[in-house]
Structure 1
Amino acid sequence: MDMLYAHALFLNARRYPQKPAIVFDGRPWTYAALQDRVARIGAVLAARGVGPGDRVSLLSENHPDMLAVMFAALALGASPAPINYRVRDEDIAYIARNSAAKVVVLGKGYARYVDLFSAALPDAWQMSLEAIDGLIAEARPLAFDWTASTNLALLHTSGTTGRPKGALRSRWGLGARAIEQGFTQNDRTLGVMPLCLSYGYGYSLLPLYLGATLYLEPDFDTDRVLHLLTHERIHSTFMIPTLIQRLVDAPGFAALSCPSLRLIQNAAGALPYDTRAAIVDRLGPVLSTYAASTESGPYANLRGDDILRHQTASCIGRPFFGSEVRLLDDDGQDVAPGNVGEICVRGPCQYDSYLNEPALTAETRRGDMITVGDLGRFDEEGFLYLVGRKRDIIKTGGINVPAADVEDVIARHPAVAEVACLGLPDRAWGEAICAAIVLKPGAKAEPADVTAFCALHLSRFQVPRFVVFLKALPRNLTGKVVKDELRQMVLARTETPDRLH
């Protein structure tokens, strides 16, 4: 069980008062200065009635004061509730109402949302990050009552298969992440992921929990990241596949020299084998990639030499440190080794519940374990292979076809850059497999080329009946394909699926 995160920051301010806790825009924020700011912000929030059980919503791009507000809320027993700033306005309004926050904090450039929050949360006090210096100038640092503090935060799921759902989590497993993935208190950790996402939130707290230094960036800028990796002797970082791909594709990557770099932690999707190989060739065995969800947290991790030894993108590694992973059939029984079952997890990072959604919460429970709807299988060495989401099963002609099985094959076609498969309504087959494909720059292919390639590697019933080429796949902020949106895009192109190819 982790310590209270706000208390850990307080203790680190005593252990390392002059050590940089955060470096932002070239300016170091020491642990002592950050803790003093947290205590003053805590006094401001407490004066507004914020206490145990309350929520503080934040809409902002990355900034140290965003973290300071989060720590102050946790210290008071309130829950930070950051909102994804790239979702639609109607989703922001929905998330705000669902969060029922007492305080709303708006970052630089987000004053345009004042009216939206006034309508969604008429009783909430709104505060601007730009006004914090003035607000805390006369505030006396608050002496927190650590017995009232919490680790509970509210983050909404990415909504790849429906509307965002509010996930409450008090267990982030920061200690387990450090052990499993190799983060240490001596690290200089580069943070480029948005704090409003579960991934960015957890891995930005982690270095501050350990007493390390977080190099926090407002967003991902390739040239800036290359500069920091080279000149700031970064030890560790965490990114999603989209950002890692941008890094590898950058002109400066071929000359990148970063002997201090020990870890690039990837999540939110698989990396193509050639991208993994490019990282290892340039930087050594620094790559680690895990499978996780907002509900379960990390449940499997692939790292070191295993990154290249397991060439298929569907291998997601061994069970995460401290996590029990079981594969269950529809009757809740463990499947035999090598067989496919629903991935169920009990571990140090799992969520508590969905906010105001007891029925949805119950759907994610398998006894005392959590299911995130993923299907997988273990091999004889204990490595877990992701077969697909349970909902990502295409039922065609009475046979269940995991979309991931088809996607893995099509991804090996030399002309294909990206692929996502889904089922389309079909009178004869129930669902027909449709492959949505993005071609590599300059590459050419016809639907028949794709289906012929699939026929060489798949059973007949697994071969897509329809192929559509797109300029890009719709993705959310974490890089995951939003299949509901993709389905609408595909169906909007034609009145009948037969015209797709």
Structure 2
Amino acid sequence: MSVYTDRPWLSLYGEGQPADITPEHDTLLDVFRASLAAAPDTVAIRYFDGALTLADLDAASDALAVALTGSGFAPGDRMGVYVQNDPAFVIGLLGAWKAGGAAVAINPMNKAAELTYLLSDSGATALLCLEQLYESVARDVVASGETKVQTVVTCSPLDHQSRDDARVLGDVVRSRQEGTLDLAELLETHAGRTPAPVSLSGDDVAILTYTSGTTGRPKGAMNTHATMVFNACTYREWMRLTPDDVVLGVAPLFHITGLIGHVALALLLPCPLVLAHRFHPEVVLDAVREHRPTFTVGAITVFIALSGVEGVGREDFSSLRTIYSGGAPIAPAVTDAFEERTGRYIHNIYGLTETNSPSHAVPMGVKAPVDPNSGALSVGVPVYNTVVRILGEDGEELPPGEVGEIATSGPQVVPGYWGRPEATAESLPGGELRTGDVGFMDEQGWFYLVDRKKDMINAAGYKVWPREVEDVLYGHPAVREVAVVGVPDPYRGETVKAFVSLKPGSSVTAEEVVAWAKERMAAYKYPRSVEFVDELPKTTTGKILRRELRDT
């Protein structure tokens, strides 16, 4: 047996944690209906001063499903969901499933060309869209005839609440869009009606989530009901969550973290999901103070922003019993600073779109170790039913301590990419996901993420992983955020450059930053140049975009 199939990390699970779990439901619609039957009056969503119960969600999604099927939406069809973190997003998912179809999760920051590509590639025949986004982007896309969209349902972030927060909704004006169905109107028109029964299985696609497209055109990961249900159960069991918990929705719902760690989890428990349209640190902090959530998961940049709000104190975070962070590597200095400021420890979690969020997580009540050689903070150990291997350049299995590509097998791994058999065969040979991430496992079974393969810097023949340099720079007391990239160099081929944003009120020179790293790193690793920026470019999930910095 290999070291990986023997699963040496099992001994690191938290006390009483099982090695394997079996979900009790096949589809997310089954999950929702079981929770509805058990507790229909449970609050499902808290949105500013508004609240929707499970019964409210059921009635609203029934009405949407009736409207969709009446407009020609058939079982197996796809509906794009082009919405922020609003109740309409959850209603849209449930409505698409009740009509026998699937959703296509779309980033609300996407512009016309991106929206056109996602709708046409997925073959979506319907679109649920914010009024503002329809007016500014989607109307022309649908009118172009380049997609198969026949039915558009528009909605407003002003729905389902009455206390409009000017900080995030100040520019929102209701604008009924000609040629579309209005969600609020159709909920009234079809109130009390139920859609015809449909048959869904765990193998059916629940949501298409598109990869970032860093190595080509974005690919639609086929997140099935079974893969999503499994990892919703993983969150529940690993984080030891119950219906008494409250989930804070800081991750975008179109992203896999938000889909599983927020929506699917809250429907499974069931418990309230706190939403605030989009991430605004002061607004989210006010929601924490008002609704007292107990659990959240999001990018580390979210927690840096929240802990940096003026006047924030430990009492503000006292209700958050459990915090996990994934989506981007975390420097040990950042978790230490957050704990010092808030009194709360951030547990690491790791996964991809193709693993439906977690494939690894730090066990509850345990602090992740730091690798003594690289200074990297462990991303945890593989979660339930999951085997992870480290592979060399030729696909050979590497022993503990050796750095190679992370390859993941488990019931949370997607079966493939929508309409991309070649890409599926390349990235998922035999159902094992080749992640494109480089890392290693230590002798105890802890896994460490080194970096993305494509981000490696070759400086005069030496390999430099940006993550290692970033972790060192995060230790500087003036540094708020940092990204390291390789830039052309006439002598070394490539050399190391750091882009740095500073903490408010801090001052430091580029030479001082270079000297800080030079004292702590090998000569070929420390940055030769530093550029200060007000803000680093990020995805909507908070992941820093190194490629944009390289391009500049």
TM-score by length of 1: 0.89
Q: Distance in 2 between matches of 1:93 and 1:147?
A: 28
Is contact 1:226–1:256 with CA below 8 Å preserved after alignment?
no
Is contact 1:4–1:151 with CA below 8 Å preserved after alignment?
no
Q: Distance in 2 between matches of 1:282 and 1:461?
A: 34
Q: 2:63 is matched with which residue?
A: 40
- State the 1:290 CA deviation: 0.8
CA shift digits 1:317-339 (9 cap, x unpaired) = 22223321111111222212111
- State the 1:279 CA deviation: 4.4
Q: 1:137 is matched with which residue?
A: 188
Q: 1:400 is matched with which residue?
A: 463
Is contact 1:177–1:321 with CA below 8 Å preserved after alignment?
no
Match of 1:23 among 46, 49, 65: 46
- State the 1:8 CA deviation: 1.6
Is contact 1:7–1:75 with CA below 8 Å preserved after alignment?
no
CA shift digits 1:404-451 (9 cap, x unpaired) = 222222332344332222222344433222222333344444444344
Q: 1:118 is matched with which residue?
A: 143
User: Does 148-157 or 71-80 show the bigger shift?
Assistant: 148-157
Q: 1:377 is matched with which residue?
A: 440
SS of the aligned residue for 2:396 comes to coil
Match of 2:208 among 154, 159, 162: 154
The amino acid of 2:442's aligned partner reads D
- State the 1:101 CA deviation: 0.6
Question: Percent identity among equivalent residues?
Answer: 29
SS of the aligned residue for 2:313 comes to helix
- State the 1:184 CA deviation: 2.2
Match of 1:462 among 507, 511, 525: 525
Q: Distance in 2 between matches of 1:488 and 1:245?
A: 26
Judged with a 3 Å threshold, the aligned counterparts in structure 2 of structure 1 residues 447 and 284 are, in CA distance, closer, same or farther, namely closer
CA shift digits 1:475-496 (9 cap, x unpaired) = 111111222211122xxxxxxx
Q: 2:178 is matched with which residue?
A: none
CA shift digits 1:152-209 (9 cap, x unpaired) = 2111223456553322211122111211223323322222332222221222221112
Q: Distance in 2 between matches of 1:434 and 1:94?
A: 34
Q: 2:173 is matched with which residue?
A: none
- State the 1:295 CA deviation: 1.9
Is contact 2:472–2:520 with CA below 8 Å preserved after alignment?
yes
The amino acid of 1:10's aligned partner reads R
Q: Distance in 1 between matches of 2:327 and 2:316?
A: 26
Match of 1:63 among 61, 83, 86: 86
Aligned length in residues: 489
Is 1:238 matched up with 2:297?
A: yes
- State the 1:303 CA deviation: 5.1
Is contact 1:6–1:72 with CA below 8 Å preserved after alignment?
no
Match of 1:167 among 221, 224, 249: 221
Q: Distance in 2 between matches of 1:463 and 1:254?
A: 35
Judged with a 3 Å threshold, the aligned counterparts in structure 2 of structure 1 residues 361 and 427 are, in CA distance, closer, same or farther, namely farther
User: Does 185-194 or 477-486 show the bigger shift?
Assistant: 185-194
Q: Distance in 2 between matches of 1:393 and 1:73?
A: 41
Q: Distance in 1 between matches of 2:70 and 2:29?
A: 19
Q: Distance in 1 between matches of 2:343 and 2:507?
A: 34
Q: Distance in 1 between matches of 2:232 and 2:337?
A: 29
Match of 1:265 among 324, 330, 334: 324
The amino acid of 1:302's aligned partner reads V
Is contact 1:332–1:366 with CA below 8 Å preserved after alignment?
no
Larger relative CO (CA 8 A, sep 6+): 1 or 2?
2
Q: 2:492 is matched with which residue?
A: 429
SS of the aligned residue for 2:362 comes to strand
Is contact 2:84–2:277 with CA below 8 Å preserved after alignment?
yes
Matches within 5 A, 1:24-423: 24-112=47-135, 113-119=138-144, 120-121=146-147, 123-129=149-155, 131-139=182-190, 140-147=193-200, 150-159=204-213, 163-170=217-224, 171-172=227-228, 173-203=231-261, 204-254=263-313, 256-257=315-316, 259-281=318-340, 284-285=343-344, 287-296=346-355, 297-302=357-362, 304-307=364-367, 310=370, 312-423=375-486
Judged with a 3 Å threshold, the aligned counterparts in structure 2 of structure 1 residues 251 and 454 are, in CA distance, closer, same or farther, namely closer
Q: Distance in 2 between matches of 1:94 and 1:75?
A: 26
Judged with a 3 Å threshold, the aligned counterparts in structure 2 of structure 1 residues 108 and 382 are, in CA distance, closer, same or farther, namely same
The amino acid of 2:329's aligned partner reads A
Residue ranges of structure 2 left out of the alignment (5+ in a row): 1-22, 157-181
Q: Distance in 1 between matches of 2:511 and 2:341?
A: 37
SS of the aligned residue for 2:397 comes to coil
- State the 1:375 CA deviation: 0.8
Q: Distance in 2 between matches of 1:280 and 1:457?
A: 24
Q: Distance in 2 between matches of 1:197 and 1:362?
A: 24
Q: Distance in 2 between matches of 1:390 and 1:26?
A: 45
CA shift digits 1:221-254 (9 cap, x unpaired) = 4344333333433222233222211211123421
Is contact 1:59–1:85 with CA below 8 Å preserved after alignment?
yes
Residue ranges of structure 1 left out of the alignment (5+ in a row): 490-501
The amino acid of 2:361's aligned partner reads N
CA shift digits 1:94-117 (9 cap, x unpaired) = 222222211011124223121223
Q: 2:8 is matched with which residue?
A: none
